Structure 1
Amino acid sequence: MKRLLEIELQKLWKNRASKVLILSYFILLSFIALIAAIKFDFGNFRLHIAEQGIFNFPFIWHFNTWIASIFKLFLAIVIVSMMANEYSYGTLKQNLIDGLSKKEFIQSKFLTVLLFAFGSTVFVFLMSLILGYSYSSYNEFGIVFSDMEYLFAYFIKLTAFFSFCLLLGILVKRSAFALGFLLLWSILEAIAIGLMRWKFFKDTDVYQKVSQFFPLESMSNLIKEPFSRLSVIKNLSSTISGQDMAKDYSVHFGDVTIVLVWTVIFMLISYKILKKRDL
């Protein structure tokens, strides 16, 4: 495993574009800390974002993992470019000539996917600890390290998403087309969910039960939007609607299982394509 990972890291290190994208990704993740500096003044009304509780433990685990997942496209570009370069520069064929099997090749790519997902998760964990201890009103050990399942869900979400990108990179061979296919897939899923919700299954939750099995939607379901958990949003909503918002924000075992199954499917299809393809 170490040898396979070293081969992939060497390829990435020698690619300038990949290094820039990886560094840009982690720099952008750091910008989450800048949210604490955002302030709005409207006459007598003053709003300091950090004072709204977004960096309170344990809510910060939910908030930061949801925000951080928005930037995953940067590493997705690295993944598809990594695969496209294998075909463009002939390194895939050369690796196979040098004795690397197709199974080992796929394993090396998946190890890279896991490394990216793990590195991002650790980064978000450390950044959240720093921000939490700087701004949180609750610093008790039991509170700080509760709701850690959001970090686990974040890792699983990134692993699945990068595995999907890897499959597209193998299938299409060109990074631009692979990213275009990713965009097209997300649009098709949104259209399908919209049709089920407003056309075929009106006034029912059937569309949710079906759409939870869609690849991208299942990943999205792992970490639900956190903003409606904030007290200021809840108060505003209850004032407007006259009802309290009732929403389940927890990470569910069923959602995790669906995403893990998709991850296995992505990698198996990737291997089958590579195995049958004449290189």
Structure 2
Amino acid sequence: MLRLVKLEFLKLKTNRAFWILLGIYFVALLLIAFSGGAILQYLENQGVTYRGLSPVILPIYDFEDIWQNLAWLGYFFKIFPALLIIISVTNEFQFKTHRQNIIDGLSRTEFFLSKLSFAIFLALLSALVILIIGLILGFLNASDTSVDAILYNAVFIPAHAYQLLLYFLFTMFLALIIRKSAFTIMVLLIYTLMIEPIAAGILGHFYPLIGSLLPLQAFSSIVAFPFTRYILLETPDYIGLVEFLKATGWGFVFLFGIFWQLKRRDF
């Protein structure tokens, strides 16, 4: 796997867009994570309260909450690393390097594994950054810094990586179908930001079960929106088995679609 990741890195290391998008993603994570306290302080200064309580007392940085909070926020910015997957795949067809790889002895399966390894690397890198941010913010702000508190709900860190990986599979599937970076990015943005949210809203109103089965809805359900807990609404603070299985099912669908395209389509 490490060899294949190195191969992908060699292809992308001189690509300015790669570094820009990677930088935007991690800067966005840092800004939104570290600005939480400032936002709560601003709300207090503006006189905002909830049932007479100041917003600054909300334990957003306690270890019991921080992993789910950061995992959800990290997935919210998923579009930026997904664009790196698009660049990685579509550049192969734009510059014909995929054919050269095959000529040099790389099989189609190895070609796929190189892309999958890169996707896994990005997902794990994001999880590592979230882990580091969480530890820093937790030790600076949490009331309980014991090992038990730190590990409590730490399952959301690998869950975040898994969410990203599934979304990357969906992105790779689109990139292999379209093979043009600009069109793939356009389709991904439109589907992610418009088509599925609208479809999920309509189906969710009339057929809630069907709406929850849409692929991106299934992926996002792995880590539930955490901030409703602070207005005393019920919020799942665990990884649900049904949600995990729905998302994993779509992952296998996209894996099959990727393999089918690599085996059947002109390479």
Structure 2: distance between partners of 1:258 and 1:188: 20
Tell me if the contact between 1:37 and 1:49 (Cα under 8 Å) persists in the aligned partners.
Answer: no
Number of aligned residue pairs: give it. Answer: 260
Aligned position for 1:12:
12
Local SS of the residue matching 2:35 = helix
Local SS of the residue matching 2:63 = coil
Alignment of 1:18-167 (within 5 A): 18-31=18-31, 32-38=33-39, 39-40=41-42, 41-42=45-46, 51-167=57-173
Tell me if the contact between 2:153 and 2:237 (Cα under 8 Å) persists in the aligned partners.
Answer: no
**Superposition deviation, residue 49 in structure 1:** 5.9
* RMSD over equivalenced CA pairs, Å: 2.1
Aligned position for 1:169:
175
Q: Is 1:260 the counterpart of 2:248 in the alignment? A: yes
- Mark the structure with the bigger radius of gyration: 1
TM-score with structure 2 setting the length: 0.89
Of 248, 260, 263, which aligns to 1:275?
Answer: 263
Encode CA deviations 1:217-253: one digit per residue, 9 max, x unaligned. 00111111111111xx22xxxxxxxxxx334342112
**Superposition deviation, residue 196 in structure 1:** 2.8
Aligned position for 1:242:
none
| Structure 1 stretch displaced more, 40-49 or 77-86 | 40-49
**Superposition deviation, residue 134 in structure 1:** 0.3
Gaps of 5+ in 2: none
Local SS of the residue matching 2:221 = helix
Structure 2: distance between partners of 1:80 and 1:56: 36
**Structure 1 residues 248 and 91 mapped into 2: Cα distance closer, same or farther (>3 Å)?**
same
Amino acid at match of 2:63: F
Tell me if the contact between 1:21 and 1:74 (Cα under 8 Å) persists in the aligned partners.
Answer: yes
Amino acid at match of 2:68: H
Q: Is 1:192 the counterpart of 2:199 in the alignment? A: yes
Structure 1: distance between partners of 2:98 and 2:247: 28
Amino acid at match of 2:150: V
**Superposition deviation, residue 47 in structure 1:** 9.3
Structure 1: distance between partners of 2:97 and 2:163: 29
Tell me if the contact between 1:55 and 1:135 (Cα under 8 Å) persists in the aligned partners.
Answer: yes
Structure 1: distance between partners of 2:235 and 2:19: 40
Aligned position for 1:240:
none
Amino acid at match of 2:251: T
| Structure 1 stretch displaced more, 104-113 or 32-41 | 32-41
| Structure 1 stretch displaced more, 172-181 or 118-127 | 172-181
Encode CA deviations 1:55-101: one digit per residue, 9 max, x unaligned. 01210011111111111111111111111111111111111111111
Encode CA deviations 1:138-162: one digit per residue, 9 max, x unaligned. 2222122111121122111000001
Gaps of 5+ in 1: 202-206, 235-244
Structure 1: distance between partners of 2:149 and 2:94: 50
Structure 2: distance between partners of 1:44 and 1:120: 33
